Structure 1
């Protein structure tokens, strides 16, 4: 886990402790689908598989999640959002997540679906085929 003062991996101008850290620890819930997407990217970046599984819709959640220790998630671009606000129950986020694996760099492009379950936003899955560059 990053130290509290480091910049948050999600790209917002705040420290990890002020931004995604409270979501990962369970102290707060993401208020919007976009914030959940950002917190999930940060969880991939810091290796928090427990949060990734906890924030995944029960109908689509895998039984387990093994992250590649060689893959480093470095930067997130939010390309578009649709619905997913504080007072909505469904939304989508289109994003590009940039990674490094050894000397290779690449990105993952996904348009994701999110819904509220028991008052909390969860990741449902991709709305279209996932594209790795």
Structure 2
């Protein structure tokens, strides 16, 4: 589903999508923090924006592949078959401008075919050439 620009942003900001994560998805701005990147990625999954997920994934991520077509199809399949109900930020480290690594712990409330597939994850991000990228995450019980 394409996300209407006047809908509330799925990232939890309570702002309209066009005033929130859309500026990142359209590459008008880069996220300044790992937290902004994390929230914009959750929103990108909800908006079926596979290109943004690929653009913001570090090459050391286990999903990273040079087969962009297949990777994009996998992301879109997941996004189209999942309801992204809620994002809760549980913990994050405020970065300073010199930081190149950061962590965000969040809970994603998701449903797939009426099954609860929610999870809590501590995500790791690296900043390279001024751009934050998602590297990996550890699930938390």
TM-score (normalizing by structure 1): 0.89
Report what 1:26 is aligned to: 27
Assess if the C-alpha contact under 8 Å between 1:31 and 1:86 holds in 2: no
Spell out the pairing of 1:1-133 with structure 2 (5 A cutoff).
1-60=2-61, 61-63=63-65, 64-65=71-72, 66-67=74-75, 68=78, 69-126=80-137, 128=138, 130-131=139-140
Measured against aligned partners, the alpha-carbon deviations of 1:103-125 in whole angstroms (never above 9, x if no partner) come to 22231211011111110111111
Contact 1:34 1:84 in 2 (8 A): no
Q: Which has the higher helix share?
A: 2
Aligned residue pairs, count: 130
The question of whether the paired residues in 1 share the 8 Å contact of 2:122 and 2:140 is answered with: no
SS at match of 1:17: helix
Shift of 1:86: 4.9
Structure 1: 5+ residue stretches without partners: none
C-alpha contact (below 8 Å) 1:83/1:90 kept by paired residues: no
Q: Which has the higher strand share?
A: 1
Q: Distance in 2 between matches of 1:86 and 1:108?
A: 30
User: Secondary structure of 2:17's match?
Assistant: coil
Structure-2-length-normalised TM-score? 0.84
Match of 2:68 in 1: none
| Structure 1 residue ranges (4+ consecutive) displaced by more than 4 angstroms after TM superposition | none
Structure 2 unaligned runs (5+)?
Answer: 66-70
Cα distance change on mapping 1:32 and 1:86 into 2, 3 Å:
farther
